[in-house]
Structure 1
Amino acid sequence: MLADPLRMELIHQLSTESRTMRELVEATGQPPTRIRKHLSVLRQSGLVLMAQRDSETCYTLASPRVRDAYTVVRDLLLDRLTRYGALASVEEAADII
């Protein structure tokens, strides 16, 4: 479920605060239909929750442990990519992940 780069990006976007669909579309540059599809997978997996905020639907991580797990996976990937010379810099890797 986290093998998809967009799902990792969505978790990254939600790791600091709750966001609306509009905010996620703006942050990722992806169309709403694609965002909705991946949020559905994350919700079904119990990683993301959905709630109403005023007139908009808001998405948030289900638990701080989701953010912690994301951070571990991200750091591991950054380490592997930089260790094997796949990327020129950690900053470049951070942009990808």
Structure 2
Amino acid sequence: MAVVQNRSLTLKAKFFRGLADPSRLALLEALRGGEKTVSELVAATGLSQPNASAHLACLKECGLVTSRPQGRFVYYALADPRIEDLLRIAEGILADVAAQVYACTRYEG
């Protein structure tokens, strides 16, 4: 039982590490309003095109975003509406504990 729980915790930690990257989080935030092309995501996030593309590939590989080619463009979208829910819940929690999180010295970044 401990091995199964350990695998579950490891997988959850990996999931949250993926969300912890500011560039990937910025891309997910930008996609909350609906699908966008890489150039639209670059404009929305301030990331370079190669950086945005690399992070989108990571997010797609992990199943957090989908892509849809249309003509000469590729449109990206959140893969699951629960990602939007997760980001909204995080905002709600932060509304209550933002000062403590900001002051926390154990997690820098």
Q: Same fold (TM over 0.5)?
A: yes
Query: Is 2:70 the partner of 1:53?
Result: yes
The correspondence of residues 27-66 of structure 1 with structure 2, limited to 5 A, is 27-66=44-83
Amino acid at match of 1:10: L
Q: Unaligned stretches of 5+ in structure 1?
A: 88-97
Which structure has the highest helix share of the two? 2
Q: How many residues end up aligned between the 2 structures?
A: 86
Q: Which residue of 1 aligns with 2:43?
A: 26
Matched position secondary structure for 1:57: strand
Amino acid at match of 2:88: T
Structure 2 vs 1, CA of residues 38 and 85 (structure 1 numbering), >3 Å: closer, same or farther? closer
Deviation at 1:16, TM superposition (A): 1.3
Pick from 16, 28, 34 the counterpart of residue 17 of structure 1.
34
Deviation at 1:78, TM superposition (A): 4.3
The CA deviation string for residues 3-26 of structure 1, in whole angstroms up to 9 with x for no partner, is 111111111110111000000111
Distance in 2, Cα, partners of 1:70 & 1:34: 22
Normalising by the residue count of structure 1, what TM-score does the alignment of the two structures yield? 0.77
Normalising by the residue count of structure 2, what TM-score does the alignment of the two structures yield? 0.70
Q: Unaligned stretches of 5+ in structure 2?
A: 1-17, 104-109
- Which of the two has higher C-alpha Rg? 2
Deviation at 1:50, TM superposition (A): 0.6
Identity across the alignment (%): 33
Q: CA RMSD in A?
A: 1.9
Query: Is 2:98 the partner of 1:81?
Result: yes
Higher relative contact order at CA 8 Å, sep ≥6: structure 1 or structure 2?
1
Over 2 Å off, 4+ runs: 73-80, 84-87
